[in-house]
C-alpha cells in the first residue's frame, strides 16, 4: 500500500493530469457534485456521490455511431468513431464501481459493443472508500463493501492523508507513474477507517434490507403479484430513475437529418417511456404498471436469471433521492418480500 500526504493531493492530480485526462467529482454550484475534468485550481468534492453516475464515462447519454452521406444514388457510410484517449476517473464510490461489472456483462459479452469496449480499455478507475454513507445507501444488500471498493486503484481517506492500493495492472501502472509522491505504508490506518465506516453502515436505516423474496427464478411468483398496481399507481412515467441509475443500460438508436446527411446516434432510453421498444403495433407494455414492473423485474429477476444471480442494482440510492414521487426499488423489494423484509 502507498501513502499520500494530505497536502499532496493536488500534486497527485496534477501529475495524473499531465499524463492523461483526469475527471473527479467537483461541486457544480447547485449543491451537487458532478464529474469534471481537472485543471489547475479544480477543487475535489468529498460529497458522498455525484448527481449523475459514473456510467457516463463508458456509456454516455448520446453517442454518434456513424454517418451517411448521399450523393445521387451513392451512399457513403462513414465511421465517425475515434480511438478514445486514456483517462482516469478519480473518486468513484463502491456502488458505481460495482455498476461497471454489470454494464460489462451487457456490453462486453458477445456481440461485444466496441464503442463501450474502447472506452473501458482506456479508462482507469480510482475508487474512494466511503466515510460518511447516507440513509439512502444500501450497497451492502448486494454484497458491495463501501469500505473496500473495487476499481483499478482503491483509495482511503485516513487521518493524515490518503492510502492507495493498486488492484489491477492498470492501477499499478498509474501508481508507478506518480510514485515520487507516494511513500510505502501498512494497512493499519486503512483498517481503522474501514472499521469506522462499517460501524456507520450497520446503523443505517436500510442496513437490514435483504434480497429475500427477489432474485433468480422468481418470474412466475412475482410477475402477477397484485402489489404492482399500488406500487406503480403514482408513477409519472418520467425517466429520472433510469437516467440517474448507474446500471440502467437500455438505449435507442435514431437517425438525425443534419441537412447534409444522416447522423445515426444512440441515446439512453427508459422503460418508463411510452415509446420504449415501440414496434409496428405499438409499445408491447401498454400501461404504466407494465413499464414500471419491467424496470424492477429486470433488475431483481431477469438480470440475475441471465447473470449467475448478479442483481442489476448496486444500492447507490440515487433513485431514492431523486424520484419525483419517492417510489423506488427499496419500496418495491420490501413490498414484494411482504413483511419478511421489514
Interface with other proteins (CB under 8 A) = 28, 30-32, 48, 51-52, 61-62, 132-136, 200, 203-206, 230, 233-234, 236-240, 242-244, 252, 254, 256, 263, 265, 267-270, 273-275, 278, 320, 322, 324-327, 330-331, 334
State in angstroms the smallest separation of the CB of 274 from other proteins: 6
Closer by beta carbon to other proteins, 96 or else 269: 269
Closest CB to other proteins among 175 and 231? 231
CB of 132 to other proteins, least distance (A): 6
Which grid cell is 310?
448478479
Least distance to other proteins from the beta carbon of 51, Å? 7
Of 176 and 325, which has the nearer Cβ to other proteins?
325
Compare residues 11 and 27 and give the one whose CB is closer to other proteins.
27
Q: Which is nearer to other proteins, 247 or 270 (CB)?
A: 270
Nearest to 162 by CA among 174, 153, 171, 173: 153
Beta strand pairing status for 33-37 and 262-268?
Answer: unpaired
What letter would DSSP give residue 277? T
Q: Is 67 or 152 the residue whose CB approaches other proteins more closely?
A: 67
Q: How far is the CB of 273 from other proteins (least distance, A)?
A: 7
* Residue tagged 411510452 (cell numbers): 274
In degrees and rounded to multiples of 5, residue 81 shows phi and psi of -65, 140
Can you say whether residue 123 is alpha, beta or left, with left for phi > 0 and alpha for psi between -120 and 50 degrees? beta
CB of 40 vs other proteins, minimal distance in Å? 22
Q: Residue 3: enclosing H or E segment and its boundaries?
A: strand 2-5
Q: b/e map of 89-99 (b: 16 or more CB within 10 Å)?
A: bbbbbbbbbbb
CB of 195 to other proteins, least distance (A): 15
The three cell numbers locating residue 162: 490518503
**Would you say 24 and 35 are in contact if contact means Cβ atoms under 8 Å apart?**
yes
Amino acid at each position: 500500500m502507498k501513502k499520500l500526504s494530505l497536502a499532496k493531493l493536488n500534486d497527485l492530480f496534477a501529475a495524473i493530469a499531465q499524463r492523461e485526462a483526469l475527471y473527479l467529482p467537483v461541486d457544480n454550484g447547485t449543491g451537487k457534485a458532478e464529474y469534471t475534468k481537472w485543471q489547475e485550481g479544480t477543487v475535489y468534492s468529498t460529497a458522498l456521490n455525484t448527481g449523475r453516475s459514473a456510467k457516463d464515462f463508458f456509456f454516455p447519454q448520446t453517442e454518434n455511431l456513424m454517418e451517411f452521406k448521399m450523393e445521387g444514388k451513392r451512399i457513403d457510410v462513414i465511421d465517425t468513431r475515434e480511438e478514445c484517449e486514456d483517462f482516469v476517473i478519480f473518486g468513484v464510490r463502491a456502488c458505481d464501481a460495482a455498476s461497471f461489472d454489470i454494464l460489462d456483462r451487457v456490453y462486453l459479452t458477445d456481440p461485444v459493443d466496441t464503442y463501450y469496449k474502447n472506452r473501458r480499455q482506456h479508462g482507469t478507475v480510482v475508487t474512494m472508500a466511503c466515510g460518511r454513507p447516507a440513509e439512502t445507501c444500501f450497497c451492502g444488500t448486494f454484497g458491495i463493501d463501501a469500505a473496500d471498493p473495487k476499481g483499478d486503484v482503491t483509495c482511503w481517506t485516513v487521518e493524515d492523508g490518503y492510502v492507495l492500493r493498486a488492484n489491477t495492472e492498470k492501477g499499478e501502472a498509474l501508481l508507478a507513474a506518480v510514485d515520487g509522491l507516494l511513500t510505502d505504508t501498512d494497512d493499519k490506518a486503512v483498517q481503522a477507517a474501514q472499521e469506522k465506516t462499517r460501524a456507520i453502515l450497520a446503523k443505517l436505516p436500510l442496513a437490514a434490507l435483504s434480497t429475500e423474496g427477489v432474485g433468480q427464478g422468481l418470474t412466475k411468483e412475482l410477475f402477477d403479484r397484485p402489489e404492482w398496481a399500488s406500487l406503480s399507481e403514482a408513477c409519472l412515467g418520467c425517466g429520472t430513475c433510469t437516467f440517474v441509475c448507474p446500471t440502467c443500460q437500455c438505449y435507442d438508436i435514431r437517425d438525425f437529418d443534419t441537412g447534409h446527411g444522416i447522423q445515426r446516434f444512440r441515446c439512453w432510453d427508459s422503460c418508463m417511456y411510452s415509446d420504449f421498444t415501440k414496434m409496428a403495433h405499438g409499445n408491447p407494455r401498454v400501461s404504466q404498471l407494465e413499464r414500471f414492473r419491467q424496470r424492477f423485474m429486470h433488475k431483481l429477476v431477469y438480470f440475475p436469471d441471465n447473470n449467475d444471480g448478479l442483481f442489476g442494482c448496486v444500492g447507490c440510492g440515487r433513485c431514492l433521492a431523486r424520484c419525483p414521487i419517492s417510489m423506488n426499488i427499496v419500496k418495491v423489494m420490501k413490498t414484494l418480500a411482504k413483511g419478511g423484509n421489514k
